């Protein structure tokens, strides 16, 4: 009999993500009423904002009708409109809880959230039972499913009515035992720009699990017109956009301006539309160039953007586009150093060749090493930190480019006095090609990323590690 005295509560189960909800049901002589799914009230209790797109009802006219065990590639909100069921759920996801079983009864006053990959089954305990479920994806013949036999001995589900006495489909009778089940893998993670410095660091950080994909620009260009059709995006959980047009001076040319706006603004906007449509988390890497560098303190995530040149303007436009998708992380960084051509390698090369460089001494910031940046991105995803913008650079004292150049010379056994500091204006005086304006202050405040539980490493220590045993003399 339906309980009319319950308060709205949520109770976790031994299966991660599988949560039972008690629902208030209001009744009188005419019948009853309940709020079957109420986003505003249920989210604070821990219900994921799973974005249902379809509502299904399975009507069963006989006691003992048994269905399952099916694991689909989407989340479900399961409830009973009328009648009563014995429900059994088995974790068929790859991982340490594979095979864990949970059973309970559901009537109109109880519902359950079933996450993707958890096998769902039930047996009716009353005639004329209507079993309902909201799902956050549309059925597709291309979707990957997993099944478990209702009579599996390992699961040992205590069906109230013996299975040899109930109505079941031939298909359900033919499902495999637990030892032969195809385990449900996590939804996919796609790393874009995998051929760049950060992309290579992300590959090292995230690894080569089957559900993680890496795509270079040649393999998947985010500026292509048919981007929304080139993947079955509903199968993806996260997109990490490590691709960008980063040639700041070339961006000031007519051709470069087109490429910068396409890669840094239009591309991220297209990714944001895809992420919004499919409930995907979008990670987007931003830049200190979205600021004009005029503040006399570190820039926080809340500071207004005010880019100076085309590169910064295109990156700022991309940031704004990404903020339109609910599940996003904008990771703003500066002075990135990784595996590839960069300022540090240039300084080492100049030292080896006996060239005494003139290096800018009126731009201030901190180096960011790609291994630290990749670790910070992984931290945000793994801990499910609150969505939004995070500054992430190396930690420690701020430096100018000239300071860093002198330290490189010193660490490689070269006289740091060979480095001459000059102003930005002096450095670019007489340039024959367009020069992008640079922010003088590129120092980013790291309080928010630290509050999330990630501690950026000291840029000076990472520089020493990066150079390792490199010696010029």
Question: Closest Cα partner for 328 from 389, 369, 379?
Answer: 389
- Residue listed under structure tokens 């992008």: 436
3-state helix, strand, coil in the chain (%, to 5): 30, 25, 45
Q: Helices H, strands E: what count in the chain?
A: 12, 25
The answer to whether 167 and 64 are in contact (CB under 8 A) is yes
The answer to whether 99 and 154 are in contact (CB under 8 A) is yes
Instruction: Please compute, for residue 366, the number of CA atoms within 13 A of its CA located in the half-sphere on the CB side.
Output: 28
Show Cβ contacts of residue 294 under 8 Å, excluding neighbours closer than 6 positions.
Answer: 306, 439, 440, 441
| CA 107 – CA 152 distance, rounded (Å) | 26
Which backbone phi and psi does 304 adopt, to 5 degrees?
A: -65, 140
Which backbone phi and psi does 88 adopt, to 5 degrees?
A: -135, 135
CA distances from 341 to 8, 264, 337, 345, 434 (A): 58, 20, 9, 6, 21
The token pair that represents 31 in the structure block: 């019948």
By annotation, the residues acting in catalysis are 70, 133
- Residue listed under structure tokens 């292509």: 224
| CA 352 – CA 355 distance, rounded (Å) | 8
**Angle, helices 254-261/310-322, rounded to nearest 10 degrees:** 10
The answer to whether 101 and 90 are in contact (CB under 8 A) is yes
- Mark 296-333 as b/e (b = at least 16 C-beta within 10 Å): eebbeeeeebebbbbbbbbbbbbbebbeebebbbbbbb
The token pair that represents 298 in the structure block: 């570190």
Question: Closest Cα partner for 34 from 4, 9, 76?
Answer: 4
The answer to whether 288 and 301 are in contact (CB under 8 A) is no
């Amino acid at each position: 009999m339906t309980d009319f005295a319950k308060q709205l509560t949520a109770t976790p189960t031994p299966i991660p993500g599988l949560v039972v909800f008690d629902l208030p049901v209001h009744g009188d002589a005419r019948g009853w009423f309940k709020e079957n799914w109420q986003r505003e009230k249920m989210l604070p209790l821990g219900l994921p904002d799973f974005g249902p797109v379809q509502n299904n009802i399975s009507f069963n006219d006989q006691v003992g009708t048994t269905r399952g065990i099916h694991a689909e590639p989407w989340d479900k909100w399961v409830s009973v409109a009328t009648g009563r069921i014995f429900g059994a759920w088995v974790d068929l996801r790859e991982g340490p809880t594979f095979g864990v079983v949970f059973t309970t009864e559901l009537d109109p006053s109880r519902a359950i959230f079933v996450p993707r990959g958890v096998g769902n089954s039930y047996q009716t305990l009353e005639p004329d039972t209507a079993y309902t479920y909201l799902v956050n994806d549309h059925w597709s013949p291309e979707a990957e499913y997993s099944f478990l036999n209702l009579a599996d001995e390992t699961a040992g589900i205590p069906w109230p009515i013996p299975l040899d006495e109930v109505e079941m489909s031939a298909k359900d009778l033919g499902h495999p035992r637990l030892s032969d089940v195809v385990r449900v893998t996590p939804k996919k993670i796609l790393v874009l720009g995998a051929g760049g410095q950060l992309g290579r660091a992300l590959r090292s950080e995230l690894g080569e699990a089957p559900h993680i994909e890496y795509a270079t620009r040649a393999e998947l260009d985010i500026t292509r017109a048919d981007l929304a059709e080139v993947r079955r995006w509903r199968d993806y959980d996260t997109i990490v956009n490590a691709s960008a047009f980063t040639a700041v001076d070339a961006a000031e040319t007519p051709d470069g301006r087109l490429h910068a706006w396409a890669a840094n603004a239009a591309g991220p906007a297209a990714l944001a539309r895809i992420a919004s449509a499919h409930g995907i988390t979008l990670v987007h890497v931003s830049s200190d160039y979205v600021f004009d560098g005029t503040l006399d303190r570190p820039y926080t995530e809340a500071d207004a953007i005010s880019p100076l040149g085309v590169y910064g303007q295109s990156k700022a436009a991309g940031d704004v586009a990404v903020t339109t998708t609910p599940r996003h992380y904008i990771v703003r960084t500066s002075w990135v150093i990784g595996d590839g051509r960069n300022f540090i390698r240039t300084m080492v090369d100049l030292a080896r060749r006996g060239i005494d460089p003139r290096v800018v001494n009126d731009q201030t910031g901190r180096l960011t090493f790609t291994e630290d940046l990749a670790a910070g991105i992984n931290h945000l995803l793994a801990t499910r930190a609150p969505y939004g913008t995070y500054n992430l650079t190396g930690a420690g004292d701020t430096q100018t480019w000239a300071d860093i150049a002198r330290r490189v010379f010193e660490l490689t056994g070269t006289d740091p006095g060979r480095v001459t500091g000059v102003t930005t204006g002096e450095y670019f005086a007489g340039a024959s090609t367009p020069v992008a304006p640079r922010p003088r202050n590129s120092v980013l405040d790291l309080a928010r990323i630290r509050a999330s539980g990630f501690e950026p490493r000291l840029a000076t220590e990472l520089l020493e590690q990066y150079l390792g045993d490199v010696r010029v003399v």
